A and B are shown apart, each in its own frame.
Chain A
Amino acid sequence: MASDSDSDGGFVTFGTPLEPLEEDEPLRKPVPLHEQTVKDEKGRYQRFHGAFTGGFSAGYFNTVGTKEGWTPATFVSSRQQKAGRQNARPEDFMDEEDLGDHGIAPRQITTTADFASGRKDVIRDKARAITSLSAPIPGDTVLEDLVAPARSSMGVELLRKMGWKDGQGVGPRVKRRLCKQRADSATRAFGSASPPNGSSESQDEEDGEFLPENVTFAPKDVTPIDFTPKVDLHGLGYRGLNPLAALRGGPGAGHINLFTMDSDRTNSLFGEDRKGHRRRGGVAGQGFGVGAMEDDDEDIYHRDIMSNYDTVLGGEEPGDGLYGWTAPQQYNRTKKDHSKDAAYLGKILEGFTLASDKLETKTIFPPPNLPRDFRPVHYFRPVVDLSSVSPMVAQALQTSRGHMAQEEPSKGGRHQLDSAQRRELLGEATLQGPSSVFDLLKVEDRERLSGLRRPSSDTSSGPRQPTPGEARAAVVAAGVAAAAARASAQKALSSRFAPQAEQQQQEALSVWSGPTAQAQTGQTFKPFERTPHKQARYDLYIDQLKQGDRDALELSLDPTMTEWERGRERDEFVRAALLYKPSSSSLSCRFTRGKQDDGVEADTVEVTRDQENDVDDKQAAVKMKMFGKLTRDTFEWHPDNLLCKRFNIPDPYPGSGFVGMPKVKRDKFSVFNFLTVSESPTASASPAPQGVKPSEPGKRSRWDVSGQAGDKERKEKDPVSEFLSVARIEASGSGPEASTTDGPTTDPTVEPDTEQKDEEEEEEEEEESRPSMDLFKAIFVSSSDEKSSSSSEGESEEEEEEKEEGVRSKAGTGPQISNQLNVNTTQPAPPVSAIPSQHPDVVFKTPSGPAAVPPPRDQEMEEEEFGPRLPPPSSTLTVERRPSLTPSAKDDKHKKKCKEKHKAKKHGKNKKDKKVRGKQLNPGE
């Protein structure tokens, strides 16, 4: 208890107060943190934890009991000391802490039951409820209550002593008038404490006008509204057996009404019973039957009466402050009527009272106001087919109604409409794409086309029939001008049949005269194939259409036919032309123009920017063992940044956005793809002295041949010249025979057998180099060769060439020494000393001497082998050589070789070889 001392003012103190500070005392050592502990009275550490135990430790260090643990109680009973009945209460298991201020069962001073103001002890009630629940029969506590004395609280006793009577209010007595006033003020209700039957009696009294002046009344009791929450599981309104009622006899009903009215409940609040009722003992009520002492057994079984219940929700009097009051209502109602009558100012007829309900007034809506010019008559316009009516009438109808009944009689139905017409009808916007293929054309082309078309349209514009739109416009215009009405109507009449055919003709024209249609030369559809004449006429018509001729139809028809036939055919042609119009025009609007120009002619591919040099060059260089510049390509290459990091190397191209080799976009098929310019001119056909090398394993070093035992420094010099000179030496050393025998196998144009495995690869290379051949032939070959070179390539040509070969071999003297080139170039190879070790070109200029080879061949061979890289030989050289074109003694040998070669290899490079030869020979022979 905190409030034991008044000075505390109700504050609760907890813990030990700080010691007062003394001035002169030296500062104490502060208590270290780990020693700042809280202990309870027993010296146990108090730890703050757990909300359920009030925040402190429970038991002994969160266990139960003491340091020694929990000691169970032992049953001890002796003769001197009888063991009492062990009745364990919850408090037995609580220690001081639990019973303290902050415990779970704090002790405090409360009013005893005797002085409690009507309220029962909460704990006791709860305990009783618990035991009743646990009892075998719910409500078992009844027996306990039966023996309990009836008690009234101290307050009630005091009030009685002061003259208070049950059912009265508390307070000074009031006069009748005041009492009535209060009742009228509707702030309180009458006699809530009065029983239902009693209340009616008192009501009757009050209703009477007799009121002695000096009589005072006790104030009406105010019933506290009982808002006790419903905590049980019984049904609404169920109260169970009332032990009090059972003891003293039920209320007037004679039985315990389980469904008591509120008035009963209020009575029971005071714990009193009603006087004047016959008191009966014993338990009565539902399920109890009638005891032997009871005389009447009529009402054993509860028969509930509906009048006990309210039939209307919230139907109580307004003004009645008593919630839940369900007493008979006559009293209040009459009183209300009276007040109403009194409130009425006018005179009330006798025998009548004021109506409680107001009469409802009917609301009547006025009819709507008619507009001034409304005529209550409706007439229907007749639907007139324009085609069956004179134009004047049609015009009149049109003007009067603003539209025709059948706007486009020619259209037939909606199924005949195309998308454009539907679009017009629906008022939709045109598609965004190019509406026709013309939009896709360049301006110049469009102009050119329109220029082509204009003359024809100009010529035909004279007799041209007006289009239906124009006709319609004319009709409308004629309607305005009454004078011209007749003429224009005539015109419209004349063009009445025209619109359909004419429009279709226009359409066909526009469709077929498009450039895409023109491009579409191969017309596959032949609608009139059975009648060739008709088909021919149709084709003519289409042709005319394609040329944009406006009166193509008339031109293409057969004038000898009858008018009727021509009319039919006209219709058929137009329809067929429309039906099988080129699809491109109908599709053109479905596609949009590409953002990038990726047309067929501009096909680009991503290629690496740096292209490898020509493979032919390299192969030749490899043959000559001239590795180095010729065979090496160096490209820019970007390693990945992370790769550089992993290799512990700085990125050579910091910040470059890509890895690998730089790529560029290039045309897929462009001549420039094949125009790779090499810096170093290549030796075309110098012999590859493979056989020179000693084939048997020996101690002889390769470098011994050159007389200089291999020192690397020498090799560092100029590799090309170096190898070239070596080649020269060896070629001269091995003699012409060796070189000639070696010739075929080392010829660059004829692959050695050893390389057959590489055929695929080489064919690729060949294909790469082939276009350059043609290109440069076109450039370098004289015009006389053009004819032959322009001949188509193909297998047929190959066959031809084979034939030619045969002829040539027979002729024997033909200058077909194509593959001799290497021989020719090697044979005249001068001794090493004579050759300045220079650029390889020199090699090709020098062999002029005894060469038996016709120089043009020579040149062509060079071109063939190395394409554009060789500079064109000077004309003087060619002229010089020409006279020396005499069949040499070696021709036979070469021929043989050629044959052998052809036998050996029928494909591969020979194709090209043969082709070229054939071309060259054609003009010569």
Chain B
Amino acid sequence: RVSGVFHPLIFSRPTSFSLPVSFSPTLSLSPPPLSFSADGNYLLSCGSDKSLKLWSVSRGTLLKTYSGHGYEVLDADGSYDNSQLCSCSSDKTVILWDVATGQVTRKLRGHAGKVNCVQFNEEATVILSGSIDGTVRCWDTRSRKFDPIQILDEAQDGVSSLKVSEHELLTGSVDGRVRRYDLRMGQLHVDFINSPITCVCFSADGQCTLTSSLDSTVRLLDKSTGEMLGEYTGHKMKGYKLDCCLSSKDTHVLSCSEDGHVYCWDLVEGSLMLKLPVGKAVVQSLSFHPSETRLLTAMEGRVQVWGAEPEETEEDVVVVQQEKA
């Protein structure tokens, strides 16, 4: 099924945005990873059919298809105002889309390998993309230049995951290190994890970082000191690049697993709260609704939205399906 080890995933929005509702569940379909865009009403899936699809979460209907990539789409992100999308693909390009028209606003070339992850900054003025070539490139969406503003080539192996906060850039690399570029301080903090990183996240309060790695461990690290605040195990993550995320209120840690479950731990206790059976295959990607208790999961071309009630009754709200390419 999934040929590559690492698939990009989609992430929930890391930090507080000014927009009232910024809902970004991102899902990754098995070949088609999936990502969501925009306020909590839409979700964005990207897959190996070389296209992005925009869905309505509440109704489960397909709103628009964005095609233009030459290979499978690995990751996507939406701008804060839902006017633009960015996506990255195995064809080494990053594409900036216009949401309404579905046209390619800009096609950014420069990566030497497939681009694993892509992210807007807070004001959608910069697109950051991390590639298997070990670089993170900062693309300017404001100017007409097609060269990246800066290339962060500190990683010694492919960059698998990337997150942007107000003034920080968090990257996880296959070389087993989590790098946090602090633009305000002009510092680079490198945390050594000793296992290829599959996903990195900021916590909602911006104080912690969540890191999942291929040693089947999710670690919660203190952002400023790098100390480990929590360690969450039990799931299986050994070969695939799977996602992890925090719940909207930073109370729980969620992670995909290769055994077809989504694991949910209590953040403070570190104990497993929930083992959500999604299917038989690998849960590719997941994303948590930024404000509500909703969870997106992606598995084998299906995207599912879970409305996780506080009393732990999960009901399958919507199932959308993206055709496998």
Contact = CB atoms under 8 A, between A and B. Distances in A.
Which 5 pairs between the two chains have the least Cβ-Cβ distance? Answer: A652-B186, A697-B272, A632-B226, A637-B188, A627-B228
Contact of B186 (A621, A637, A695, A697): A637
Contact of B181 (A639, A700, A757, A758): A639
A276 interface: no
A719 B183 contact: no
10 contacts: A615-B192, A631-B226, A632-B190, A646-B125, A646-B126, A652-B183, A652-B184, A699-B271, A712-B229, A715-B222
A909 interface: no
Contacts of A631: 191-193, 226
Interface stretch (A653-661, A780-788, A808-816): A653-661
A455 interface: no
Contacts of B188: 634-637, 661
A702 interface: yes
Contact of A640 (B138, B157, B167, B219): B138
B175 A636 contact: no
B100 interface: no
Given A632-B226, A643-B183, A758 B176 contact: yes
Contacts of A701: 266, 268-271
Contact of A618 (B154, B192, B222, B270): B192
A640 B233 contact: no
Nearest to A638: B186
A640 B128 CA distance: 14
Interface in B248-282: 266, 268-272, 275
A646 B225 contact: no
B64 interface: no
Given A638-B186, A646-B121, A698-B271, A619 B194 contact: yes
B121 A649 contact: no
A628 B227 contact: yes
A517 B121 CA distance: 64
B142 interface: yes
A761 B181 CA distance: 23
B231 interface: yes
Interface in B192-228: 192-196, 214-215, 219, 221-222, 225-228
A629 B225 CA distance: 7
Contacts of A639: 150, 181, 183, 186
Contacts of A615: 192
Interface string B166-193: 1100000001100001111111111111
Contacts of A23: none
Interface residues of B, number: 56
Contacts of A642: 140, 149-150
B123 interface: yes
Interface string B280-302: 00000000000000000000000
A703 interface: yes
A710 interface: yes
B2 interface: no
B70 interface: no
Nearest to B126: A646
A7 interface: no
B142 A633 contact: no
B234 interface: yes
B225 A628 contact: yes
A189 B78 CA distance: 108
A712 B207 CA distance: 12
B152 interface: yes
A38 interface: no
A615 B156 CA distance: 13
Contacts of B238: 754
A800 interface: no
B229 A755 contact: no
A754 B195 CA distance: 10
Contacts of B270: 701-703, 710
A699 B153 CA distance: 42
A315 to B, nearest CB: 81
A561 to B, nearest CB: 69
Contacts of A638: 186
A550 interface: no
A703 B157 CA distance: 35
Contacts of B269: 699, 701-703, 709-710
Contacts of B272: 697-698
Interface in A815-859: none
Nearest to A720: B227
Given A627-B227, A632-B191, A637-B188, A695 B125 contact: no
A697 B266 CA distance: 11
A648 B123 contact: yes
B237 to A, nearest CB: 12
A625 interface: yes
B150 A627 contact: no
A761 B225 contact: no
Given A637-B182, A701-B269, 13 more contacts: A628-B225, A637-B187, A639-B181, A646-B126, A647-B125, A647-B183, A648-B123, A653-B186, A661-B188, A695-B234, A697-B271, A699-B269, A702-B271
A757 B198 CA distance: 14
Interface in A257-281: none
A612 interface: yes
A644 interface: yes
Interface in A595-635: 612, 615, 618-619, 621-622, 625, 627-629, 631-635
Nearest to A652: B186
A693 B227 contact: no
A703 B188 CA distance: 31
Contact of A693 (B152, B228, B233): B233
A715 B167 CA distance: 26
B187 A636 contact: yes
B312 to A, nearest CB: 13
B35 to A, nearest CB: 22
A640 B121 contact: no
Given A643-B126, A646-B140, A652 B185 contact: yes
A719 B271 contact: no
Contacts of A650: 184
B195 A661 contact: no
B190 to A, nearest CB: 4
A622 B176 CA distance: 11
A693 B192 CA distance: 21
Contacts of A636: 186-188
Contacts of B184: 649-650, 652
Nearest to B275: A697
A625 B231 contact: yes
Chain B CB within 10 A, most for which of A615, A636, A646, A661: A646
B193 A622 contact: yes
Interface string B306-319: 00000000000000
A634 B225 CA distance: 10
Contacts of B122: 647
Nearest to A620: B194
Contacts of B219: 627
A764 to B, nearest CB: 9
Interface in B121-138: 121-123, 125-126, 138
Contacts of B186: 636-639, 652-653
A643 B271 contact: no
A643 B229 contact: no
A631 B149 CA distance: 30
A273 B121 CA distance: 110
A612 B190 contact: yes
A652 to B, nearest CB: 3
Given A639-B150, A647-B126, A710-B268, A758 B229 contact: no
A668 B272 CA distance: 50
Interface string A488-531: 00000000000000000000000000000000000000000000
Contacts of A633: 189-190, 192
Contacts of B195: 755, 758
Interface in A753-812: 754-755, 757-758, 761
